[in-house]
Amino acid sequence: MSVDANRSERDKRWYGRRFGRKLSAARQRLVDELLPQLRVNPAADDGARNPVDWFDPSISEIRMEIGFGAGEHLAGQAAAHPGVGFIGCEPFVNGVAALLDQINRQDLSNIRIFDDDVRLLLPSLPDGCLNRMDILFSDPWPKTRHHRRRISDPGNLVQFARLLAAGGELRFATDQVEFASWTLERMLRNTAFEWLARRPDDWTRAPTDWIETRYQQKARARGLGTTYLRFHRRRREDV
């Protein structure tokens, strides 16, 4: 195997944690019984297929949240937009169980779950199949030698651009100023994206439909503000 092949295998390794505290009996039941009904399993499919097929036929707009944590933003968005289909990606089992609890209590029918590393799902999805991607407080990997693990790594941005429909939106939020500018720099270098900032203080203002996440609340309690970055996916013919 070449050095490059080794490097790309290493970059694809999963570095986060999968399990936390033991689940309550009720949440374990949701993982055992409800998750299999909502789980997206690209390995079970014959090649790429359109995610709209995973939802009720009345749904034509699809959004994805990557690394939804405990799922409060995802569940809130799904409740506010019952006509939109949401794909949540999160390998941390306790977070998935927390989302399932909200789906169950609020009787949400427009969420599907990929409970693994999102990079395993994305290549199987067809071009332009997503209308929005939300990446909220993803792991900042502060050490320089770990930067290539960041979700906003240029290789992942190419994949996000492929999957977003023209006019679609990518939202990125973080409490780490250096991570925000690192990401902005790479987003601006990718010609598929246009930064939606309209005012000098744009990145300090939450989008109007914003729902605070658990991570964000904890960061605020430690005195850390949020940087909000929003990007428009340009039409393919304009890139």
In angstroms and rounded to an integer, the radius of gyration of the C-alpha atoms of the chain is 18
Position 90 contacts ligand SAM (CB under 6 A): yes
141 vs 193 by CB, closer to ligand SAM: 141
Instruction: Kindly tell me which of 215 and 234 has the beta carbon lying closer to ligand SAM.
Output: 215
**According to the binding rule CB under 6 A, does residue 215 interact with ligand SAM?**
yes
Of 9 and 56, which CB lies nearer to ligand SAM in the complex structure? 9
Q: Does 176 bind ligand SAM (CB under 6 A)?
A: no
For residue 236, the minimal CB distance to ligand SAM (Å) is 26
139 is catalytic: yes
Q: Among the options 32, 139, 201, 202, which is catalytic?
A: 139
Does residue 228 interact with ligand SAM by CB under 6 A? no
Q: What mask of x and - would describe binding to ligand SAM in positions 40 to 79, judged by CB under 6 A?
A: --------------------------xxxx----------
